[in-house]
Amino acid sequence: MNFKSKVALGAAATITAALLSGTAMAEPKVLMLHQWASGNDAASIAKLGEMFTAKGGTWEQTAIAGHTANTLAKLRADVVAGNAPAAVQLKGPEIAQWAATGGTADMDELATTEGWDAVVAPELLPVMKPQGKWVAAPMNIHRINWIWGNKAAMESVGVAELPKTWADFNAACDKAIAGGKVCLAHFSADWSDATTFETVVYGQDIDLYRKAFVEGDVDALRSPEMIKAFDQMKLMVSKYMDPAIAGRDYDTAANMMSNGDALFYIMGDWELGRLVSLGKTPGSDILCGQSPTDWDGNGFILNSDSVVFFNQNNPDFQEGQKLLASTILSPEFQTVFNIAKGSIPARLDVDLTQGFNACQQQSQAELKGSIEGGTLVRSMAHNMTVLQKYRGAMMDLITEFVNSPEMTSEEAANLMADGVEAQM
Amino acid sequence: MSDATISSAPALDLEAGRAGRRHLISRIVIYGLLTFFAIIYLMPLWVVFFNSFRPLAEISANGLIAFPQSFRLDAWPQAWSEFCIGGQCAGMQRYFWNSIMMVVPATIISTAMGAITGYVLSKWKFRGSEIVFGMMLLGVFMPGQIALLPWAFILGKIGLANSVYGLVLVHCIQGLAFTTLFCRNYFVGIPDDLVKAARIDGAGFWRIFYRIILPISPPILIVTVIWQFTGIWNEYLFGVVLNSGANQPITAALVALSMSGTTVRTYDVMSAAVLIGALPPLLVYFFGGKYFVRGLTQGAIK
Amino acid sequence: MSSAGYAAMAGGNSFWEKLKSWTPIFVIAPAVVASFVYVFVFSGWTMYISLSDSTLLPTYGFKGLENYASLWANRRWGVAYSNLFFFSGIFVLTTMAVGLLLALLLDQKIRAESFWRTMYMYPLAVSFIVTGTVWQWLYNPTGGIQFLVQSMGWTDFEFALTTDRKNAIWAIIITGIWQSAGFTMALFLAGLRSVDGDIIKAASIDGASTFRIYRKVILPSITPIFLAVAVVQLQSAIKTFDLAVALTNSGPGISTTFPATYVYDLMFQRGQIGEGAAAAMMILAALAVVLVPYSMYLGWRRRREVVHV
């Protein structure tokens, strides 16, 4: 090697070193805004923080408890102040809305390198890349259409298995009442009422669900099929739930089922985390199954938590966003996080035989079945379909219906359609 | 208490000889009613206070309203330094100090500015000063939701977004309407001749303020300070929305407690936390309350 | 007298003296400017936004009155507005009645007056968030008042206001009264104490009974205070927010939605900043309906007093 090339090599080395140290000097940092302020949720998000820190990042978070409005108000105030947080827990159509404002970061480069398109559940892709570019990283897939049953309580009134159809459900409930039990544990809040109602609509008529709750079609909201769904809901509220649903909290409702006062509970799979912490074994003493459907095959109402990235000027935060996104989509995080939270990984290539329980394994199998059968839908109640203004109008009406014995199903369907129409 | 001596009550004892029995009955009725209202008023405080010493198991067994069967202090240190709020298990402590850092300067500055503005608007009137006063007064009625986004924008522009100083600024300006109103109405009652005489003696703007106005202002300044202190301490909308994470005031923590969605309610620790959050303004009221009515008499309502 | 007039009186003619005569204006200028920005720029901005196409973030495309039309077509807004009327009416009247009663009781030369007074006034020091949280416990059917009375033996007793759609607003009314009757009491007491003692003495020497003196002499002379208290309470009713959020969070269903909570929901939860701003303007309009006549009355009274003096 001659002197010249030695110099050239040395220079190249120096430049490379400088470049390397340059990137090394950008310390990955992130400030994440989310609403998982307590309990299981907080524990799950703390795991993300730990993994992020272990990979050399500096983790900071703002957890805003309570109403989603507080989180969104905070986000809006930060964006208006020109101080957008690096990462925000946001979901559904809001991701598209924020992407349309031009404030979100482009994560395509990382997505291509890591091949996200190939592994993430296809139903999530339009949500995470609303304008064709990745702006968000999905953390999990929650299933909404679960029915949980207390096996001992069911046996005590002569119900052998979880109801498959709404007719089965009503029959089982009549047995429960005859046996002196509450059939369906419930607590009334806009989101829990809407959760139950959307499983009814979905189970009765999947096309109606799509038209009304995914497309926000006013005629579908007003249709005789919707009135029929309200009839079923009315029956459940007036007869199969107990009268004290208003003002009860999530815990009390969940306990009613797990301690056997009530037979069933219709609730998303975050319920699993609770059951495990109560020392129950999901799948044996507490049964889990697809909420009733009047059609055959697997059904899946999907909800997904995701983290959206907002444009940052500081290279430390840009690095931090990449590291965070990569961490979130890593199979390790998807496993650890979802075991704790009750949901299943947003990546379909994660093996659930290790650490996940029977219900979670069932969830993943039925998700795949549902994708094949063309029955997979996103959840309206959990803000995965229509814009907030339409969803708000629907939820207002549904929760009002649950709390108003004198409102008829026809009135409810018409008022819901009017409410949505007023927002158009 | 000197207040009793300025009572407007007609001298009931004049009638005492004629209707001693009627007097006794009316006394019983008066104290009976006072006691009845006092019980209603004290009940919530009593409930939280006792619950902060009752073990959780006992609360769930005997209900929220009951005398303690056993006594333990654990809830207090837990609420202060261990309780998990907003994903961080460091208790109310840091929120408490944030609130102190916010409320002390904001109260002092807004009271001082209100006193000076009220002084000018009452004793150094200029053309249009009544209109200026009227317009400033409108600030009293502004709903907070309107101001939220504009404040976020302004604080972002001047680099005070997400800081305790930002909240100090917001509260100073929002409080001006109240502090100016209180002080101006009080100062109007000070005879103009006092000021005129001082001017003839050659006293200037500031001298008159320090030598004549301030020495007779404590009653209204106390009202203003109580008003501002409790108002700022208890405000939550701006605290939650404008600040995040480590910079939030104590009301943000209280909101987080009151709406802790899907977790078990730890009533004992929550009770202690609620009391910690309410303590400073309560102390201010307990010690300053007696000046409040007197100050109001002299200034605020006109 | 104007400050310029004072300067002339002092006989100063130099530039320095002139500058000094402007001191008061310089001194209050920052406070006045800040207040004006707060009141006029903020509400002007909100008004413009209410006419704009803003959704997720404030934007400035003009779309006229559409937001208002959509707001008034909304059922929940109807619920909010009728709640506001119902709540305001009862809240204002009851806080005034309770406040006046307490003030009259305290005015009877009672022992340890400041002790009693402090008890009725301490809720004022507590935030609506704390009040809401604690009262929520009291209303809780499975641990609060209902549970207490039932466990004392009256098993049919029902007191579950917050969980009953039709009665939940009463929970907010009762809690609101508990929180702010102390304030009306303080204002009334201040009023009673400001009545000229000589008039009262004269009346009692004439042999009038206590009741008569209150009815004929004291209360009539504090009518302006009644009006002031009513206005103060009414404007705080119109702005009701914290309490409704902490106590019922607009539920059960949408039954306890208030205009201010709905504004917040629209602007922040639902990403309809334009319509939220329109709702906020309606709150301002409601405030104006209360305040404009009141300030006109105050102006009229002031002029009349000047004439009389």
Q: What is the DSSP string of B156-187?
A: HHTT-TTSHHHHHHHHHHHHHHHHHHHHHHHH
What is the predicted pLDDT for the residue at B13?
52
Check CB contact of A42 with chain B, cutoff 8 Å: yes
Q: Look at C265 and A392 and tell me if their CB atoms are within 8 Å.
A: yes
List the chains bordering chain C where 3 or more Cβ pairs fall under 8 Å.
A, B
Residue closest to C258 by CA, chosen among C42, C85, C74: C85
**Average pLDDT, rounded, for chain B:** 84
Give residue C240's identity as a one-letter amino acid code: T
Q: B56: closest CA among B211, B284, B276, B272?
A: B272
The residue of chain B with its CA nearest to that of A67 is: B259
- Categorise residue A217: left if φ over 0, alpha if ψ from -120 to 50, beta otherwise: beta
| C-alpha span between A250 and A253 (Å, rounded) | 5
User: What are the tokens at C59?
Assistant: 């934007």
Sign of CA dihedral C210, C215, C218, C222: positive
Q: How far is B44 from chain C (nearest CA, A)?
A: 7
Amino acid in the structure at residue A152: A
| pLDDT at residue A136 is higher than 80 | yes
Half-sphere exposure of A47 (CA within 13 A, CB side): 18
The helix/strand/coil state of B118 is helix
- Residues forming a β-bridge with A104: A310
- Alpha-carbon distance of B209 to B204, in angstroms, equals 9
Question: Regarding beta strands A142-143 and A136-138, do their DSSP bridges make them parallel or antiparallel, or are they unpaired?
Answer: unpaired
Structure tokens at B32: 């009976």
pLDDT at C95: 95
Residues of B within 8 A of A192 (CB-CB) are none
Q: Is A289 helix (H, G, I), strand (E, B) or coil?
A: strand
ipTM: 0.84
| Domain limits for position C88 | 75-308
Contact between B152 and A270 using a beta-carbon 8 Å cutoff: no
Q: Is residue C51 part of a domain?
A: no
Q: Is residue C186 part of a domain?
A: yes
Long-range Cβ contact pairs of C35-39 (< 8 A, separation 24 or more): C35/B135, C35/B136, C35/B139, C35/B173, C35/B176, C35/B177, C35/B180, C36/B135, C36/B136, C37/B173, C38/B139, C38/B142, C38/B147, C38/B173, C38/B174, C38/B176, C39/B135, C39/B136, C39/B138, C39/B139, C39/B142
Residue type at A95? I
Torsion over CA: B58, B63, B68, B73 (sign): positive
Residue A67 has what pLDDT?
Answer: 60
Phi, psi of A381 (to 5 degrees): -60, -30
Termini Cα distance of chain C: 19
For residues A180-207, average pLDDT: 94
Quote the distance between the C-alpha of residue C74 and its chain's center: 26
pLDDT of residue B260: 54
Residue C155 in contact with partner chain A when CB distance is under 8 A: no
CA distance linking residue C178 with residue A270, whole number of Å: 39
Question: Which residues of chain A does B86 touch, with a Cβ-Cβ cutoff of 8 Å?
Answer: 37, 62-65
Distance (Å) from the alpha carbon of A238 to chain C's nearest alpha carbon = 15
Which distant-in-sequence residues (6+ apart) come within 8 Å of C63 by Cβ?
C51, C52, C53, C274
Residue of C nearest to A404 (CA): C165
d(CA B214, CA A383): 58
pLDDT of B87 strictly over 80 = no
d(CA B274, CA A265): 33
Average pLDDT, stretch A132-161?
94
- Which one, of C142, C13, C21, C85, lies nearest residue C259 by Cα? C85
Q: Using the predicted structure, report yes or no on whether residue B294 has a pLDDT greater than 80.
A: no
Q: Does C138 touch chain B (CB under 8 A)?
A: yes
Phi-psi bin for A64: left (phi > 0), alpha (psi -120 to 50), beta?
A: beta
Q: What is the mean pLDDT of residues A349-373?
A: 90
- Is the model's pLDDT at B4 over the cut of 60? no
Whether A173 contacts A183, CB under 8 Å: yes
CA distance A1 to chain B (A): 57
Counting as low any pLDDT under 50, the low residues of chain C are 1-11, 309
Decide if C34 is inside a domain: no
Judged against a pLDDT cut of 60, whether residue B12 lies above it is answered with no
Asked if B124 and C6 come within 8 Å (Cβ–Cβ), the reply is: yes
Query: For residue B302, is pLDDT > 50?
Result: no
Burial A172-183 (b: 16+ CB within 10 A, else e): bbebbeeeebbb
**Rounded mean pLDDT, A208-225:** 94
Distance CA B167, CA B150 (A): 13
The CATH fold of domain B93-300: MetI-like fold (1.10.3720)
B247-272 residue pLDDT tens: 889 988 887 776 654 455 678 888 89
Tell me the chain C residues in contact with residue A98 when contact means C-beta distances shorter than 8 Å: 56
Are the Cβ atoms of A77 and B259 closer than 8 angstroms?
no
- The mean pLDDT value of chain A amounts to 88
Cβ atoms A363, A378 nearer than 8 A: no
Neighbour-count burial of A206, counting CB atoms closer than 10 A to its CB (0-12 exposed, 13-18 middle, 19+ buried): middle
Domains and CATH numbers, chain A: 28-142+303-357 (3.40.190.10), 143-302+360-422 (3.40.190.10)
Confidence (pLDDT) at A284 = 86
Q: What is the reported pLDDT for B106?
A: 96
Q: Choose the mutation target among C16, C137, C150 for the interface with B, i.e. most B CBs under 10 Å.
A: C137
Q: Which residues of C are less than 8 Å from B11 in CB distance? A: 204
Q: Could you tell me if C248 and C256 are in contact, meaning their C-beta atoms sit under 8 angstroms apart?
A: yes
What pLDDT, on a 0 to 100 scale, did the predictor assign at position C5?
46
DSSP chain C: --HHHHHHHHT--SHHHHHHHTHHHHHHHHHHHHHHIIIIIHHHHHHHHHTB--SSS----B-TTHHHHHHHT-HHHHHHHHHHHHHHHHHHHHHHHHHHHHHHHHTTT-TTHHHHHHHHHGGGGS-HHHHHHHHHHHH-TTTSHHHHHHHTT-TT----GGG-TTTHHHHHHHHHHHHHHHHHHHHHHHHHHTS-HHHHHHHHHTT--HHHHIIIIIHHHTHHHHHHHHHHHHHHHHT--HHHHHHTTT-STTTT--HHHHHHIIIIIS--HHHHHHHHHHHHHHHHHHHHHHHHHHHHHHHHHHHH-
In chain C, residues with a C-beta closer than 8 Å to the C-beta of A308 are: none
Q: Is residue C211 part of a domain?
A: yes
Whether the predicted pLDDT of B62 surpasses 70: yes
Give the three-class secondary structure for A359.
helix
The pair of three-digit structure tokens given for residue A282, joined into one six-digit string: 């999901």
Q: Is B7 on the interface with C (CB under 8 A)?
A: yes
Min distance B11 CA to chain C CA atoms (Å) = 8
For residues A260-279, average pLDDT = 88
Query: Hey, which residues 181-240 in chain C have their CB within 8 Å of chain A?
Result: none
Nearest to A176 by CA among A269, A242, A250, A243: A242
B88: which chain A residues are within 8 Å (Cβ-Cβ)? 63
Residue C62, in any domain of the structure = no
DSSP3 helix / strand / coil % (chain A, rounded to 5): 55, 15, 30
Nearest to B86 among A60, A63, A73 (CB): A63
Q: Does C73 touch chain A (CB under 8 A)?
A: yes
Q: Which residues of A touch C (CB under 8 A)?
A: 67-70, 72-73, 76, 79-80, 94, 97-98, 100-101, 188-190, 244, 246-248, 252, 387-389, 392-393, 396-397, 399-404, 415, 418-419, 422-423
- The 8-class DSSP code of residue A238 comes to I
CB atoms within 10 A of CB B192: 12
**Separation CA C267–CA C295 (nearest Å):** 31
Tokens at C20, concatenated: 């000094």
What does the pLDDT read at residue A1? 45
Segment 2-61 of chain C within 8 Å of chain A by CB? 55-58
Point out the least confidently predicted range of A6-20, A21-35, A133-147.
A6-20
Give contacts of B156 with chain A, Cβ < 8 Å.
Answer: 80-83
> Which is higher by pLDDT, B266 or A79?
A79
pLDDT digits (tens, 9 = 90+) for B114-159: 999 999 999 888 888 888 998 888 888 888 888 988 999 999 889 8
Nearest CA in chain A to B159: A81
Q: Residue A186 is which amino acid?
A: H
Determine the residue type at B33.
Answer: L
Chains that touch A (3 or more CB pairs under 8 A): B, C
pLDDT tens digits along B173-223: 999 998 998 899 889 888 888 888 988 888 888 999 999 999 989 888 988
* Residue C301 resides in a domain: yes
Find residues 217-276 of chain C whose CB sits inside 8 Å of chain B. 218, 225, 228, 235, 238-239, 241-242, 246, 249, 260, 263-264, 267-268, 273, 276
Residues 255-274, chain B: which have Cβ within 8 Å of A?
255-265
* Residue A5: band (very low, low, confident or very high) from pLDDT cuts 50, 70, 90: low
- What is the predicted pLDDT for the residue at C13? 65
Domain count, chain C: 1
- pLDDT at A17 (0 to 100): 45
Please give, rounded to a whole number of angstroms, the shortest distance from the CA of A69 to a CA of chain C: 4
For residues C128 and C248, give the distance between their C-alpha atoms in angstroms, rounded to a whole number.
12
Task: Please give the pLDDT value at position A424.
Answer: 73
Backbone angles phi, psi at B267, to 5 degrees: -60, -35
DSSP for C213-278, please give it: HIIIIIHHHTHHHHHHHHHHHHHHHHT--HHHHHHTTT-STTTT--HHHHHHIIIIIS--HHHHHH
Let me know if residue C63 belongs to a domain: no
B249 shares contact with chain C (CB less than 8 Å): no
Question: Beta partners for A63?
Answer: A34
> How does pLDDT run across A83-95, given as a tens digit for each residue?
888 999 988 888 9
Q: Which of B262, B266, B269, B270 to mutate to test the interface with A (most CBs of A within 10 A)?
A: B262
Nearest to A42 among B84, B148, B152 (CB): B84
List the domain boundaries for chain B.
9-73, 93-300
Give how far B215 is from chain A: nearest CA, Å: 43
Chain A CB within 8 Å of residue C268 CB: yes
Q: What pLDDT, on the 0 to 100 scale, is given for residue A25?
A: 61
Torsion (CA) A402, A406, A410, A413 in degrees, nearest 10? -30
Scanning B16-55 for CB atoms below 8 A from C yields: 30-31, 33-34, 37-38, 40-45, 47-48
Q: Assign residue C259 the CATH number of its domain.
A: 1.10.3720.10
Give the tokens for residue A174.
Answer: 């009549």
Min Cα–Cα distance to chain C from A396, Å: 6
- Establish whether the linkage from the previous residue to C252 is cis, with ω within 30° of 0: yes
For residue B217, give Cα distances in angstroms to A67, B187, B220: 44, 8, 6
